[in-house]
Chain A
Amino acid sequence: MSGSLAAMTDKRNGKYRTAGILAVIVIGLFLFTIFSGLK
C-alpha cells in the first residue's frame, strides 16, 4: 500500500517532464510546418 502511494507520488512529480516533452513536440511541429512552407 505505502509502496504504491510512493510510486503514485513519483509519477505525479513527473508531470512537468511529460508536459515539457509534449510542449517541445508542439513547438517542433510548428517550426517544421513553417520550414516546409519555405522550401
Chain B
Amino acid sequence: MSAKSPYPMTPEEVASYRAAVEALVAECLALIRDYPVERDADPVSERGQR
C-alpha cells in the first residue's frame, strides 16, 4: 500500500486541515500555560502518586 492516502487532499483541503490543527495546538498550549508552575521540586500535584 502506498504511503500516500487513498483519499488525497486538494491544496485548499490541506490548508483548511493545517489551519484546524494549528488552531487546536494553539488552544491546547493556551490551556496548559494557565496551569501554575510550582516552585517545589516535589510538586504538590505529584505527592502521593508515587
Do these two chains really belong together in a complex?
no
